[in-house]
Homo-oligomer: A and B are copies of this chain.
Amino acid sequence: MSERPGIMSTLGALIRRDLLLALRRRAQALNPLVFFVIVVTLFPLGLGPEPNLLQKLAPGVLWVAALLSAMLSLEAMFHSDFEDGSLEQLLLIPQPVFIIVLAKALTHWLLSGLPLLLLAPLLALWLHLPGEAILVLLITLALGAPVLSLIGAIGVALTVGLRRGGVLLSLLVLPLYIPVLIMGAGAVDSAAMGLSVGAQLSILGALLAFAVTLAPWAAGAALRISVE
């Protein structure tokens, strides 16, 4: 007979669960990263190898690729749990629903946002991005990627009951991602041209604070509705 677990220990247990599941499918857990790399390499192939052109494009391409890679791994957030009935079980744990969503968003970020930070410098080199701009890229990714995961969680929670929601999901989520994209790519672009980036970075920070406080609640409510 032990105590009913507290909120933090539940959050920990949920994250541990999802990381364990990811570990069991290592090949899949690496996939957002791989997708990021592949999309970034597609562009030179589609656009030609001119270094000058590539450098100009680099901020936009890197950020669009990061955004797509975050978006495409969103669907896995709840999908298998929904299919095998685990999601119903999760909704019946004696904790507020937003905890589930928060745990899912955190795991998504750990698996899709964080690894990008490690690989982004390499890809930025491929696209001939200058050094200071790479630093700014990392900062924008560090601030922006969690926002993508959190906003994404709302979208997935809304579409989880629908089969083949995949691309419907992108339709819902992409418009919300656009501010992040504009600020992120804009900051890197400014840095590459030697301009100051303070304004964009603080807006990104504000978006992050906003998303952390609001997204879990919205996503929790969405989840309860769409599982019924």
Q: Using a CB–CB distance below 8 Å, which chain A residues touch chain B?
A: 25, 27-28, 31-32, 34-35, 38-39, 42-43, 45-48, 53, 56-57, 59-61, 63-64, 67-68, 72-73, 75-76, 79-80, 83, 163-168, 170-171, 174, 178, 181-182, 185, 189
Contacts and interface: CB of A to CB of B under 8 A. Distances in A.
Nearest to A58: B47
A68 B174 CA distance: 15
A177 B112 CA distance: 24
Contacts of A170: 31, 34-35, 38, 72
B75 A166 contact: yes
A35 B170 CA distance: 7
B171 A31 contact: yes
Contacts of A165: 28
Contact of A46 (B28, B39, B60, B164): B60
A73 B170 CA distance: 12
Nearest to A62: B46
A42 B61 CA distance: 10
Given A28-B168, A35-B170, A68-B68, A60 B73 contact: no
Given A34-B167, A43-B60, A83-B83, 19 more contacts: A25-B164, A27-B168, A28-B165, A28-B167, A31-B167, A31-B168, A34-B171, A35-B170, A35-B171, A38-B170, A38-B174, A45-B185, A46-B61, A46-B64, A46-B181, A47-B60, A73-B167, A76-B166, A79-B164
